[in-house]
Structure 1
C-alpha cells in the first residue's frame, strides 16, 4: 500500500511589503520598520520587530508613532511589490507548474505530479525553494505542507516569521486541536471573541459539541465548521494563467476598515502596482473591476470598461470611487479589497488625432517605471502621499 504524501504547499511571505522595502534597504533589517503614510495615513505593513512594540495594520500612523516613537516609517514604492511577487511565484513554478497565486504575497503549490517518493524529499525541495527566494530576492517566507489546502494554509502561519511546518497525512485533526479557534477560515476577531465567551477557545472545543450545540452556535455553517475542525478539505489547487487574461491584486487587512478614503487610496495604489506589468507585457486593459469582502467572507464586486483599452493609470483612477461605492453596498467594515484589470488586448496601431499625446504619456510612464524600481525610488503620485500600503 502506497503511503499518502503531504503534497499541498502554502507559501505566505512574511511582512511582504516591508520585506520588499528592506530588500532595497538591508541596513534597516532587524529594526522597527513599517510602510505607511506620515500624514493622515495608516500602517499597512509592519516588521515583526515593530509588531512586538505594539504596531499593527491598519493602525493610524500617528498612533503608531506614539506607541513606538523609534519606528522607522518607509514610503510605498510604486510597482515594487508586484514585481517582487511575480519573481517569487516564478521561482515556485520552477518547482511545479501547478501554482495558485491567491494574492500578491501568498499562494498554493501542488507537488502531487512531481514524482516525489517520500515526505522527506518533498520537505527538502520546499526548504530549498524557501532558501532560494531569500537568497535571490531577500524576501523571507513561511511555508506549510500538508495533504490539503486548509491545513497547509494554517500550518504556514504557525511559526512565522520564516516558519516551516509539515503536517503528515492523517494528523490533521491532531495538529489543529490545540490551536485557537480563530485559525479557522471565516472566524474573524469579533466572532472569535463571541465564541470564546461561550467557552469555545480552541479548535478541539468545536469537536466536543453535540450536533444540536453545533447548529445552535454556527447555524447553517455547522457542518462546514465541523469539517474544518477535523482538518478536512477537498479543494484543489487551481492554475489560473492570469497573465494572459487579467492582472489582479488584493489586500486582506489585519483589522477591518471602515474609511472610504483609505480603501480608495489602496485601490489606486494597486492600479499603480499592476499597470507597469501590463506595459511591460506590451498589453492594454479595457475593464477595471473592484471587489470587496466583508468580515463574514461575503464578496461583492463591480466593474466598468473604458471606451478604448489603455496601458496608462490615469484613465482608470476616476473609476475607482464609483466602483467602490457600487460594490460596497452594505454599511459594514471591509476585510479585503482587490482590483482586477481584464479585457486585455494587444495595442492596435494608433491612428487617432491625439495619439501623439498618449504616446508622450506612455514614454513618461516608462521612465517612471524605471525610476520606481530602482534602489531609491522617489517619484510619487498624489494618492501615494497618505495612507501608504505595504
Structure 2
C-alpha cells in the first residue's frame, strides 16, 4: 500500500515502522494516496496558535481568545478544548470550565497577516484555491504533479511543514476525491493531522456515522432526520431519489447523495463572498435607545469600511440583536440603491432598532449587508438622492483624516455625546 512519510515527504510503495530515509514515524497510508487531488486545509486553533507563536511562554498553557466576562470565545487552544471550552461559548462559561486559562483579546490584524502568508503558500501549489474563512481553504491540485514533480499528497505534506517553519502555526490536511470528503477527512485527524478518504471506501466508511457529522446538518435538522428513523448516514444514503424527495422534500435527493459521500462542487477561487457584517457584545446589557444607537453607528462605520475593502455594496441591511437571555432577533430592510456609506446603512437600520428597543435588555448588536452587490454602482446618486456623491466625498475625507491622525480625529455627534 502506498505510504507517505510526513517528516521528509518521501512517498514509498510500502512502509515499515520508521521511514528508511529520515527515520520518521509519521506515516500516511492509503490505497488511493497517489491519485487524490482535492484537499481541505484547516489551521489548528488558529487564533490561539498565533498567540502562542508570539508568546512562547504560553505554549503549554490553556489559551482562550475572546472578550471580557460579557463576551464569547473567538477561539481556544486544544488544552482548553479538553476542558470543554468551545468557540462561540459565553466567556463566563468557558472560564468556569477552565479557570486557569489565559484570556487574550483578539488581534484580528495579526491573524489576517498570518492568514495571508498561508494563502500565499497555498497559491504556490495551485491557482485553484478557494478560501472558506480566515483559517480554512479548499484546494484542487489536479494536473500539478508534473509541475511539482510529486503527487498532491507529497506536495501537501511539504506545504504543512513549510507553514510550520515560515508562519509558525500548524495545519491539518484532508485529502479526498471531492470537497465534502476532504472536509470530513480533515475533521478526523487534528491537530497537525493528515487524513485521507478515498472514493472506493467513502459510502462504507460514512455509513455508521451519525447524520450530524454531515456539514450543513445542524442540531434541528439532525433531530428531524432522527425522528424519521434516519439516524446514520448509511440510513440516509440508502434512500432512493424518489424516497428522499417524499420524506425530505426537494432537497432530499441531494442530501442523500451527500450522505453517500457524493459531491459535484468544484473548487472555485472566484466564489462570491456570502456576507459582510460587524457586531459587538456589550460589557453590560443595554436598554436605552441612545446607547444602542451610538454603538449601531460605530458598527455602521465598520461595515462601510469592510464593504469598501472588499469592493462590495449593500443592497439592504440586516440588524442583529441578542437579548440578555440569549434570544436572537434579526430584522431586514431593503435599500433603494446600493451603498457603502455608513450614514445610509445607519439610516436603514435605525428604524429596525427603534421597533425592537422597547425596554428589552440586549447583550449584542450587529449590522450586516444583505444582499451583497458589486461596489461599482454604489452611492452614485439619482433623482431621489442627489446628495449621495457629496456624502461619499465627505466620508472619504473623514477616513483620510483618521488614517493620518487617528480614529478620534473626526467623530460624529451621536458617538461624541455618548463619550
What's the TM-score bracket when you normalise by the shorter of the two chains?
A: 0.5 to 0.7
> Matches of 1:134 and 1:270 in 2, distance apart?
38
Does residue 362 in structure 1 map to residue 403 in structure 2? yes
- Name the CA shift for 1:247/1:172 in 2 (closer, same or farther; >3 Å): closer
Q: 2:223: which partner in 1?
A: 193
Does 2:68 match 1:41? no
Bigger relative CO (Cα 8 Å, ≥ 6 apart): 1
Aligned to 1:159: 189
Does the 8 Å contact 2:304/2:340 carry over to 1?
no
1:198-235 CA distance string (max 9 Å, x none): 54332112234466754454222221122112211111
Whether 2:144 is the aligned partner of 1:114: answer: yes
Q: Secondary structure at the match of 1:363?
A: helix
Kept in 1, the 8 Å contact 2:234–2:259? The answer is yes
Partner of 2:203: 173
C-alpha displacement at 1:130, in angstroms?
A: 1.4
Aligned to 2:327: none
1:81 aligns with 111
Say yes or no: does 1:29 pair with 2:59. Answer: yes
Give 1:277 deviation, angstroms.
Answer: 12
TM-score (norm 1): 0.66
Task: Determine if contact 2:241/2:253 at 8 Å carries over to the other structure.
Answer: no
Distance 1:190 1:205 in 2: 18
**Paired residue secondary structure (1:35):** strand
TM-score with structure 2 length normalisation? 0.62
In structure 1, distance between residues paired with 2:163 and 2:70: 34
> Structure 1 residue 322: deviation in Å?
5.6
Q: Deviations over 1:280-320 (max 9, x none)?
A: xxx98765976799xxxxx998786999978xxx7798479
User: What is the alpha-carbon distance in structure 1 between the residues aligned to residue 297 and residue 233 of structure 2?
Assistant: 35
Task: Name the CA distance, whole Å, in 2 between partners of 1:353 and 1:221.
Answer: 48
Contact kept, 8 Å, 1:11 with 1:142, in 2: the verdict is yes
| Structure 2 residue corresponding to 1:131, chosen from 148, 151, 161 | 161
**Unaligned ranges ≥5, structure 1:** 252-258, 294-298, 326-335, 346-351, 367-381, 383-390
Cα shift at 1:76: 1.2
* Partner Cα separation in structure 2 for residue 267 and residue 11 of structure 1: 37
Determine if contact 1:214/1:222 at 8 Å carries over to the other structure. yes
| Alignment-derived partner of residue 254 in structure 1 | none
1:140 to partner: Cα distance: 2.1
Per the TM alignment, residue 89 of structure 1 is displaced from its structure 2 partner at its CA by 1.0
User: 2-side partners of 1:119 and 1:337: how far apart?
Assistant: 48
Are the equivalent residues in 1 in contact too, given 2:299–2:367 (CA < 8 A)? no
Match of 1:348 in 2: none
Aligned to 2:171: 141
Whether 2:94 is the aligned partner of 1:53: answer: no
2:49 aligned with 1:19: yes
Unaligned runs of 5+ in 2: 1-31, 279-285, 321-329, 354-365, 378-392, 408-414
C-alpha contact (below 8 Å) 1:268/1:320 kept by paired residues: no
Deviation at 1:238, TM superposition (A): 1.0
- Partner residue, 2:20: none
| 1:349 corresponding residue in structure 2 | none
Matches of 1:84 and 1:320, distance apart in 2? 35
Query: Counterpart of 1:330?
Result: none
Q: How does 1:1-390 map to 2 (within 5 A)?
A: 5-116=35-146, 121-196=151-226, 198-209=228-239, 214-240=244-270, 318=346, 343=375, 358-364=399-405
**Count of aligned pairs:** 332
Aligned-residue CA RMSD (Å): 4.9
Q: What CA distance in whole angstroms lies between the structure 2 residues aligned with 1:38 and 1:87? A: 29
Q: Would the alpha carbon gap of residues 323 and 144 (structure 1) be closer, same or farther in structure 2, given more than 3 Å must change?
A: farther
Measure how far apart 1:18 and its partner are: 2.2
The answer to whether the 8 A contact 2:276-2:307 is kept is no
Distance (Å, rounded) in 1 between the aligned partners of 2:297 and 2:167: 25
- 1:49 & 1:190 partners in 2: Cα distance? 29
* Whole-angstrom CA distance in 1 between matches of 2:311 and 2:255: 43
Q: Following TM superposition, by how much is the alpha carbon of 1:96 offset from its aligned partner in structure 2, in angstroms?
A: 0.6
